[in-house]
Amino acid sequence: MAPSADLSFARAKPRSPLLSLMFRSTPLVRRLIGPERTLRMLLQIERASWRLAYEAASQRSGEAFMNRSLAIRREQLDQWIPDGAAVLDIGCRDGRHGRLIADRISRYLGIDRLPDVITRARSQPQPPNLYFEVGDARALPPGEFDVAIASHLIEHLDDPEGFLRDIGDRVPRLIVEVPDFDHDLLNAVRLEVGVDFSSDDDHVREYTADLLGQQLAAAGWKVVDRARSPISIAALAVR
Q: What is the pLDDT of residues 157-204, one digit of tens each?
A: 999 999 999 999 999 999 999 999 999 999 999 999 999 999 999 999
User: How does pLDDT run across 198-239, given as a tens digit for each residue?
Assistant: 999 999 999 999 999 999 999 999 999 999 999 999 999 999
CA dist 224 and 147 (Å) reads: 14
Task: Indicate the DSSP class of residue 201.
Answer: T
Percent of the chain with pLDDT over 70: 98
Cβ–Cβ contacts within 10 Å for residue 204, how many? 12
CA distance to 60, 224, 231, per residue, from 51 (Å):
14, 31, 12
Q: What is the pLDDT of residues 124-162, one digit of tens each?
A: 899 999 999 999 999 999 999 999 999 999 999 999 999
The pLDDT value recorded for residue 31 is: 94
Distance between CA 237 and CA 239 in Å, rounded? 7
The neighbour count for residue 192, using CB atoms within 10 Å, is 9
Closest CA relative to residue 230, chosen from 99, 70, 17: 70
* pTM score of the predicted model: 0.90
User: Could you report the per-residue pLDDT of 86-101, keeping only the tens digit for each?
Assistant: 999 999 999 999 999 9
Domain 71-181+200-238 has CATH 3.30.420.40: no
Count the Cβ atoms, other than its own, within 10 Å of residue 8.
4
For residues 116 and 134, give the distance between their C-alpha atoms in angstroms, rounded to a whole number: 9
Alpha carbon 4 to its chain centroid, in Å, reads 27
pLDDT at 4: 62
How confident is the model at residue 45, as a pLDDT? 94
pLDDT over threshold 90, residue 12: no
- Average pLDDT of the residues of the chain: 94
